[in-house]
A and B are shown apart, each in its own frame.
Chain A
Amino acid sequence: MADREYAYYSGCSLEGTAVEYDISVRRVMEALGIRLSEPEDWSCCGSTPAHTVDHLLAAALAARNLTIIEKMGFNTVITPCPSCMMAFKKAHHRMKEDIRFKDEVNSLLDEPYNLNVQSKSALQIIIEDIGLEKVKERVTHVMPDLKVAPYYGCILNRPPEIAQFDDPENPLSMDKIFTAIGVEVCDFAFKVECCGAAYGVPKRDMVNELTYKILSMAVDCGANCVAVACPLCQQNLDLRQQQVNIRKNTSFNIPVLYFSQIMGLAYGYSPEEMVIDKLVVNPDSLISSRITLSQWNEMKAREAEASKAKKKEKKNIEKIEEET
Chain B
Amino acid sequence: MGAVIQNLWAKKGRIKFPGGAALPFWGFASSANGKPQIPGPLIKARAGDLVTINLYNHLKKNISLLFPGQQFIPRPVKENGVFVSYNTPAAPGDCTSYSFTAARPGVFLYESGTSPEEQVSMGLYGALVIYPRGYDDLLSPDYHTAYCGNTGTGFDVEKVLILGELDSRLNMAADTGSRFNMPDYNPDHLVINGRSYPHTLLPDNYGLLSSQPVGSGLGIIPGQRVLLRIINAGLQNHTFRLLGITARVVAVDGWPLKADENSLNATYLKNTITVAPGESYDLIFTVNGQGQYFLHHRDFNHPGKGNRFPGGMATRLTATLFESAGVPAAPLDLSCALINRKGVKLSWKNSSTGEEGFVIERKITGEDNIELLAILDNPGRQEYTDSTVLPGISYSYRICAYNSAGASKHSNICRIDTNNIEQGPEKLTCTTMYGKRADLAWSGSNARGSGYAIERRADNSEDFQTIAEVGPNTTFYRDLSVVNNTIYTYRVKAVFPAGAACHSNECVTVPKAAPLSAPDQLRSVYVTDKSVFLVWDHDSSDENKFHIERKTGAGPYIEIDVVANSQTWYTDKDVQKNGTYYYRVRTHSKSEGFSDYSYELLVNTP
| Chains A and B form a bound pair | no
